[in-house]
A = this chain, B = another copy of it.
Amino acid sequence: MSLKHAILVLLEKKPGSGYDLSQRFKRSIGYFWNASHQQIYQELKKLSQEQWVEFEVQAQAERPDRKHYRISAAGRSALKAWLHEPAKPERLNSELLVKIYAAYLADPTALLPDLDRRIAAHREKLDEYLGHEPFYLDKRGKASRKQSLMHLTLRYGIRYEWNWIEWLTEVRALLVDEQAPAKPMLETLIRASSRKTLAKR
C-alpha cells in the first residue's frame, strides 16, 4: 500500500494535521496521488497505532482541536525501506474509455457533454500545474539539483493533462465529423496558457 507511505513522505517534509495533509494532497501532489479526508484520518489512526507517526493535540480558540502529526524514527526507517522495494506495475482503469469504446452501441454524440466537461477539467489542471512550475525553477529557469526530481513529477502531471486534452480533442473532432486532429491549435493554446500563468507573477 502506498497511501501510508505517501503520508509519511509528506510528514517527513513537514509535520501537520490530517486536514493539512488533505490540502497538500489536493493542492501540491494531486498530479500523482489523490486521497480523501476520510481515508487520511483512518490511515493516520493506523499509522499511529503502528507508531510510525506521533501526534500532539493543539487546542484552538473558536476552532476544533487539531492533531499535529509528525513522523517517528520508526516511520522514517519504514519509509526508507519502502523506497528500496520494487514498485508494482500500475494498471489503468478508465470508465470514460470504456464508454467511448462502446459508444457505437447507442448514439455516440451523447458523449459530447462528457468530453467537453473532461477537456475543460484537464485544461484547468494543466493551467494550475503550469502555474506551479516556477516554484521549482531559479531565475535562470533551472531546477536546483535537489528539487529536480520533484520538478519532474510535476512535469509528469503536465504531460498527463496535455495528453488527455490532445486525445479528447481528437475524439471530439471525430464525433462532430471534423477532419483534422487539431494538434497545432492545441499547442498554441497551451503555449498561450503558459505565458498567461507565467505573467501572473
Q: Please give the residue numbers on chain A whose beta carbons come within 8 Å of chain B beta carbons, in ascending order.
A: 2, 5-6, 9, 12, 29, 31-34, 79-80, 82-84, 86-106, 108, 110, 113-114, 117-118, 121, 146, 148-150, 152-153, 155-156, 159-160, 163, 166-167, 170-171, 174
Contact = CB atoms under 8 A, between A and B. Distances in A.
A87 to B, nearest CB: 5
Given A106-B83, A159-B167, A98 B33 contact: yes
11 contacts: A5-B98, A9-B105, A29-B98, A32-B97, A32-B98, A33-B93, A100-B152, A152-B170, A155-B170, A156-B167, A159-B163
Contact of A91 (B34, B98, B174): B34
Query: How many chain copies does the complex carry?
Result: 2
Contact of A149 (B33, B160, B174): B174
A93 B34 contact: yes
A67 to B, nearest CB: 23
A173 B132 CA distance: 23
**Pairs of residues from A and B, 10 with the lowest C-beta to C-beta distance, nearest first:** A32-B97, A34-B91, A9-B102, A2-B95, A87-B96, A32-B94, A83-B106, A101-B153, A87-B95, A6-B98
